[in-house]
Amino acid sequence: MKKFAVVAAMATALLGSTAVNAADVEVIHWWTSGGEQAAVSVFAREFDALGEDKWVDTAIAGGENARSATLQRTLGGDPPGAAQFNISRQFEELAEAGLLLDLTPLADSEGWRDFIRPAAILEVCEFEGKIYCVPVNIHSWQWAWASVPAFEKAGVPLPKNLDDFIAAAPKLQEAGIIPFAIGGEAWQIGGAMGVVMLSQLGKEGHEAIYKDRNLDVAGGPEVKHAIEIFKSLKGLTDEGSANRTWNDTTNLVIQDQAALQIMGDWARGEFAVAGEQPGVDYACIAGPAEQPYLDTGGDIFLFPKQDDAAVEAAQLKMASMMVNPQVQALFNNAKGSLPVRDDVDMSLADDCMKAGLEILKDPNHVIQGAGIYLTQDSIGQMDDLWAEAWSNPDLTVEEIQQRFVDIIASAE
Amino acid sequence: MAQLATAKEGGAVIKAASSSGRKPFRLSTLMSIVGTTPMIATAVGVFVICIIYSFVLSFTNSRIFPAFAAENFVGTDQYARLWSTGRWLISVNNIWFFGLLSIVANMTAGYLLAVFMDQRIKAEDWFRSIFLYPFAMSLVITGLVWRWILDPNYGIQATVRGWGFTEFAFAPLVNSSTAIYGLVVAGIWNGVGVTMAIMLAGLRGVDSEIWKAAKIDGIPAWRTYLFIVLPMMRGAILTAFILQCVGVVRVYDLIVAMTQGGPGISTQMPAVFVIQHITDRSNVGLGMAAATMMLLPVIVLLGVQAFAQWRANQVKEKA
């Protein structure tokens, strides 16, 4: 660790920061679950070890709440020292208004553009050629987590795609197993629907809708079939799904009470904590489709501009610390996510993680999430639509699809 | 108000101490103007200007930052989008449903409780505190406690099932068609106490001669309460009603604590819509359009109250 501290100190010195005093840097984030806290404390520990500066932790439960707090405080002139956002357009107005610290000199001197991959996750940080944030990890949504004993009990093979799964569902139900586990929170429903969509659309269709706003594709048969699958999945859930958190839901799969959950790769951490073995106790199905695609979502940190030069120096130090290969390894192993650079020791990765890394190597199977192309406003509209479609069986497939087309048509 | 009263008293003291009538009069006028200036400035600054500001914003495409350049004005686009958004329409339906149910129940139960307290019962202070207590508590706490009570896994349903009735089902919040009733129950629990307190004050304000007269005429107590006393306490009823209405229009914390607007979007409310759009969704224009729509019923209500007061004054002047 000492060696790293020296390297970081040199990096700071190279930046030519003058008269550096100790400073407190307040960090807003929404990492509050067990594994998440272990991960964020890696950052805090490493930052405090760098010198006199202190990491002041402001954890706010719920991504939406944490982001709102950062936005409102920054607008109100009392910005935090650093704040977490997703890899998306959630913070673009702050960058455009010049409220964020420009990290370009640091990024250039350390060569971020060379080692951060895929390049797209750094691109969301760029506005007019300047870099305003640090990507810290990569997460993908496109995973289904299956309980191997549950499928064995029902006497059906593990599904390879969602149509297989829906066909097998009656047998699972007969065996007293909840076929599809999901928590009724809007983001879980919206996320699962995104996965269902991508499994039908593929990369080409996905980009046609979200990037090119092609309304013919949005109104086409693939989206229609995705909505049909979505509605069938609703019928395969249990009564207690309303208000259930994602990790409680994962727990149903761990305990073999439920057969399958669609959830991002952060669910892997829950299986690991429960001592389950991939391939024996649970299976991770990428896609879930024969041709799986993964998105490269994840988290970034941005650093709102401060009046105090000492805080600014500390912010740059923190940014540099976050992409350090050693910190990346420690942090991502605790978080269960993939590091943002290749030259990181991932010997601890399990089979599911390795499968994910394998898919990510092929650029044709890597996509950008809808949040890269659409504003948070449009994403929110879609979340509302999926939540409504989920709870209101009277909405027909045609009505839902029409509303989806309208959202894409009006997206900025 | 307090400042005004002090200024008046000050004027009276000066008037009493001085022999001439004109000079102190001027001084007291000056003092009341000085005294009320902060109030007027706050009222105009905070209420009027901010409302106009929000209203103007609702015609722009502002996202996080207020944008007033010519190209930002988009006419009534935000309103058009608002009224074609499924979630907003559901919110509006919900607020009417929630409002009607909870106001009717609150007013009725509040009046009955007030009548009960009016029976010169023992330990009235105790009861009054108990009934008022929920109102003193944050709606977030109220909501959380009710969420636990109504939760199928550790609330009423789990308890009754624990007694041996394994088929017992009572979990309104997990079903999108019944979730709103759960909210109404929590809303009533929270609001009934303050209605009772206002009604009780109204009851106590009724002249005891009326009661004596009714007794002599042999009118039963329940009829006196319903047909004689109730119409006489119009002011208290109107105050309680307006308070309830304003509470309903801005209901937010209860939703956040109890259902997060779910299951699905079945318990969304306008205030949740506004807050979410001006913060995380970064669409201030749409949020302000929704806020303006929320203001309309409040203005209508206040108009009704003002009209009622004006009528009452007219009647008084004639008499």
* pLDDT tens column, A378-411: 998 999 999 989 988 889 999 999 999 999 998 8
Residues A225 and A247 in one domain: yes
Distance from CA of A412 to the nearest CA of B (A): 11
Chain B's closest residue to A64, CA to CA, is B280
Residue B66 lies inside a defined structural domain of this protein: no
DSSP state of A64: H
pLDDT class of A8 with cuts at 50, 70, 90: low
Q: What is the mean pLDDT of residues A122-128?
A: 90
Residue B295 lies inside a defined structural domain of this protein: yes
Q: What is the pLDDT of residue A348?
A: 65
Residue closest to A180 by CA, chosen among A341, A95, A288, A35? A288
Residue B240 lies inside a defined structural domain of this protein: yes
Reported ipTM = 0.74
CATH of the domain at A100: 3.40.190.10
- Tokens for B45? 């600054």
Residue B74 lies inside a defined structural domain of this protein: no
Residues B40 and B94 in one domain: no
Lowest mean pLDDT of A295-309, B5-19, B122-136, B141-155, name the range: B5-19
Contact flag A384-B265 (C-beta cutoff 8 Å): yes
Residue B12 lies inside a defined structural domain of this protein: yes
Q: Which of A75, A90, A240 sits opposite B174 (nearest CB)?
A: A240
Q: What is the pLDDT of residue B24?
A: 54
Residues A171 and A209 in one domain: yes
Q: Domain span at residue A153?
A: 143-295+363-410
Residues B119 and B40 in one domain: no
Residues B179 and B105 in one domain: yes
Contact flag A388-B264 (C-beta cutoff 8 Å): yes
Q: What is the pLDDT of residue A42?
A: 92
Chain B's closest residue to A239, CA to CA, is B174
Residues A161 and A115 in one domain: no
Instruction: Determine contact, residues A267/A209, Cβ cutoff 8 Å.
Output: no
Q: What is the pLDDT of residue B14?
A: 42
Residues A179 and A249 in one domain: yes
Q: Is A99 on the interface with B (CB under 8 A)?
A: no
Q: What is the pLDDT of residue A16?
A: 43
Q: For chain A, what is the domain count?
A: 2
Q: Domain span at residue B91?
A: 81-318
Angle at A212 between CA A208 and CA A215, to 5 degrees: 70
Residues A271 and A379 in one domain: yes
Q: Is the pLDDT of residue A13 over 50?
A: no
Q: For residue A154, what are the CA distances in angstroms to A174, A261, A271, A282?
A: 8, 17, 22, 15
Chain B's closest residue to A188, CA to CA, is B264
Q: How many CB pairs under 8 A join A and B?
A: 93
Chain B's closest residue to A85, CA to CA, is B280
Distance from CA of B63 to the nearest CA of A (A): 8
Contact flag A68-B259 (C-beta cutoff 8 Å): no
Residue B76 lies inside a defined structural domain of this protein: no
Mean residue pLDDT of chain A comes to 88
Residues B23 and B154 in one domain: no
Residues A158 and A134 in one domain: no
Residues B33 and B102 in one domain: no
Whose tokens are 């109404």? That residue is B184
Q: What is the mean pLDDT of residues B219-226?
A: 87
Give the CA count within 13 Å in the CB-facing half-sphere of A145: 35
- DSSP lists the bridge partners of residue A294 as A366
Residues A203 and A222 in one domain: yes
Q: Which helix (H) or strand (E) holds A384?
A: helix A376-391
Residues A147 and A164 in one domain: yes
Q: Is the pLDDT of residue B178 over 70?
A: yes
Instruction: Determine contact, residues B144/B232, Cβ cutoff 8 Å.
Output: no
Distance in angstroms (rounded) separating the CA atoms of residues B4 and A222: 70
Q: Is the pLDDT of residue A27 over 90?
A: yes
H helix intervals, chain B: 2-17, 22-42, 50-57, 77-82, 86-117, 124-136, 139-150, 156-162, 179-204, 208-216, 221-223, 230-232, 234-249, 253-258, 270-278, 284-318
Residues A269 and A404 in one domain: yes
Residue A133 lies inside a defined structural domain of this protein: yes
Q: Which long-range contacts (CB under 8 A, 24 or more apart) does B130-133 make?
A: B131/B192, B131/B193, B131/B196, B131/B197, B132/B193, B132/B194, B132/B196, B132/B197, B133/B193
Mean residue pLDDT of chain B comes to 84
Give percent of chain A above pLDDT 90: 55
The secondary structure of B158-176 as a DSSP string is: HHHHHTT-TT----GGGST
Q: Is the pLDDT of residue A274 over 90?
A: no
Distance from CA of B300 to the nearest CA of A (A): 30
Residues A92 and A62 in one domain: yes
Q: What is the three-class DSSP state of A144?
A: strand
CA B133 to chain CA centroid, Å, is 17
Contact flag B86-A384 (C-beta cutoff 8 Å): yes
Residues B24 and B158 in one domain: no
Residues B128 and B192 in one domain: yes
Q: Whole-prediction pTM value?
A: 0.78
Q: What is the mean pLDDT of residues A104-130?
A: 90
Q: Is A67 on the interface with B (CB under 8 A)?
A: yes
Q: Is A234 on the interface with B (CB under 8 A)?
A: no
More confident residue, B204 or A349: B204
Residue A353 lies inside a defined structural domain of this protein: no
Distance in angstroms (rounded) separating the CA atoms of residues B200 and B220: 20
